[in-house]
């Protein structure tokens, strides 16, 4: 899946669904232009999510709320 070793920047934000459920979404906003269309596995802080590049654009990806909590708690412990 995808090319190993490429570095990218993610944009992450929270949204509320029509039922009031909190969702965490992300999208790649800065990645090497030469990455071809296809599926990619993003790895960070010991976790991973899958996203796709289609016709040169990155799709939105959902993050599990518990993943964001874990990352937040890990960041507090590192301070």
pTM of the model: 0.66
Higher pLDDT, 67 or 63: 63
| Mean pLDDT along residues 63-70 | 70
What is the per-residue pLDDT for 36? 93
d(CA 79, CA 73) in angstroms, rounded, equals: 10
Higher pLDDT, 7 or 36: 36
Sorted by sequence, the CB contacts under 8 Å of residue 62 that are 6+ apart come out as 23, 24, 25, 26
pLDDT in tens, 10-61: 888 888 888 888 888 888 888 888 899 999 988 876 777 889 999 999 998 8
Sequence-ordered alpha helix ranges (H) in 1-79: 65-78
Q: Structural domain boundaries of the chain?
A: 9-78
């Amino acid at each position: 899946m995808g090319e190993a070793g490429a570095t990218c920047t993610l944009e992450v934000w929270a949204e509320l669904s029509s039922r009031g459920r909190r969702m965490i979404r992300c999208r790649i906003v800065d990645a090497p232009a030469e990455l071809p269309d296809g599926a990619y596995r993003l790895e960070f802080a010991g976790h991973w999510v899958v996203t796709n590049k289609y016709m040169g654009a990155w799709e939105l990806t959902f993050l599990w709320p518990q993943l964001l909590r874990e990352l937040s708690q890990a960041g507090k412990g590192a301070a």
